[in-house]
Amino acid sequence: MNTKNAGPHLSIREKLTPAQRATPLRLTIDPGFVHHRKIQTVIGSLGMNSIDNAIKELPDSPDWVRNVRIDHIYTQALLLFCNQLGIRPLSDILTSETVHLFCSTEKVKPCHDIIDTERAISVWEPPFDYHKRVEFHYSTRNVVGDTLRLRLHQGTTISLVAQLYEVENEVIIFEPLVMGFPWLVSDSNNLDFGISWWGGSFFENFVEDFDEFSKVSDIPVPADSEPMKIISESAFKKCLAMILGDHAQIDWGGEVSDYFTSHLHLKGNRVKGAFLLKGPHNFKPMGLNHLGKNNDQIVRLSHEPADVLIVQHCHDILPPVRETLRAFAVQPSNPRRYCLIDGRDSLRLLYAYDMYKKALEITESENRV
């Protein structure tokens, strides 16, 4: 396996090719914490029948090997349960406050007392401003992975499935069923890049990765996005639809995305894409304040039945927007791809398909009305 270009400090856009980024990979959890009793309660008798049958098929092995295998069986059964029931990520359920179970990958702050306490508390580090404190309470005896214990002590990114325990004033408490590190899995043994390096950043795609936008690779990155200042949001959407051979949908109050298409492909594989588009009305870098109260525009976007969630802006897009979009898109039970197209990439797209002049004409026509 070639890992010479991989590394956690390197850019996935610089070090992986569009074909590598389009590789069909599954996301799972490498469990270091499994609460068997709670999982049994949640998945019920049918789920436990599957677990029991899988355990019966295990070969004879040392106890420690058998216990690890059982933890993985419970974890996979729980992830399948979450997938089938459409369990949402933490950011989504905190916004809706309607369900009690979540499955997602999240950052937690250092838990300094995990080493010498029976009951630990890890505090959520949200990707966006959130008015309440979110805590994960768990028994340290169920933390069987030494690496997970150390990382929780230091603060880390973990994948977890957790259940609401209670709400106390401004504190929301969840109890984890499974915790561990996000882990990429491939059905192929012939990958030419080390997927283990990219567990924290995979599933992000870029405009040039899509077959319909591949000509963007031939266009140098502009010095700035200033020419997008005079291109309206609706003009960009209409040009986008022309490139894809679609018809631009008319905006209406109940929409959950600005543009939806089934005419996108990643290296020949058809994917459905939902776009959130932002024009030059507020021509400055996109922060979370661009996305409505409580980031509700990304919330609505995430509810589209899309394989790829795409945020486009006429200017730069700030890191908190990327982190928030990823939090809503990528979850172990149902990972989806996400893409951000900033002002310079928007320009490259229009230039690559000779659409900038057309976008300008549409904008000028709109201004005359």
Please report how the helices 356-368 and 343-352 are oriented relative to each other, as an axis angle in degrees rounded to 10. 110
Residue 21 lies in a domain: no
Interior angle at CA 71, CA 176 and CA 328, nearest 5: 45
The enclosing domain of 144 has a CATH number of: 2.40.50.140
Look at residue 368 in the predicted model and tell me its pLDDT. Answer: 84
In angstroms, rounded to a whole number, what is the distance separating the alpha carbons of residues 260 and 189? 34
Is there a single domain that holds both residue 105 and residue 216? no
In order of 211, 215, 255, 265, 276, the CA distances from 296 in angstroms are 30, 33, 12, 27, 11
Is there a single domain that holds both residue 181 and residue 207? no
Residue 289 lies in a domain: yes
Q: Which of 348, 356, 36 is nearest to 177 (CA)?
A: 36
How do beta strands 133-139 and 171-185 pair? Answer: parallel
Q: Do the Cβ atoms of 76 and 27 come closer than 8 Å? A: no
Place of tokens 């979540």: 102
Place of tokens 């700030």: 318
Quote the number of domains for the chain.
2
Residue 13 lies in a domain: no
3-class DSSP state of 307 = coil
Is there a single domain that holds both residue 154 and residue 226? no
- The pTM of the full predicted model, rounded to 2 decimals, is 0.90
Is there a single domain that holds both residue 217 and residue 357? yes
The enclosing domain of 257 has a CATH number of: 3.40.1350
Domain boundary among 156, 185, 214: 185
Bridge partners for 105 per DSSP: 159
The residues near 149 (Cβ < 8 Å, ≥ 6 apart) are 32, 114, 115, 140, 143
Hey, what are 134's tokens?
């979110």
Q: Which helix (H) or strand (E) holds 177?
A: strand 171-185
Residue type present at position 241:
A
Tens-place pLDDT, residues 292-333: 766 689 999 999 999 999 999 999 999 999 999 999 999 999
User: H helices of the chain, where?
Assistant: 12-15, 18-21, 36-56, 63-85, 90-96, 146-154, 233-244, 296-302, 319-329, 343-352, 356-368
Is there a single domain that holds both residue 73 and residue 31? yes
Is there a single domain that holds both residue 136 and residue 262? no
Domain containing 281 equals: 203-368
Is there a single domain that holds both residue 212 and residue 357? yes
Tens-place pLDDT, residues 269-299: 999 999 999 999 889 999 988 887 666 899 9
- Segments of the chain with pLDDT less than 50: 1-9
Is there a single domain that holds both residue 214 and residue 146? no
In angstroms, rounded to a whole number, what is the distance separating the alpha carbons of residues 225 and 315? 6
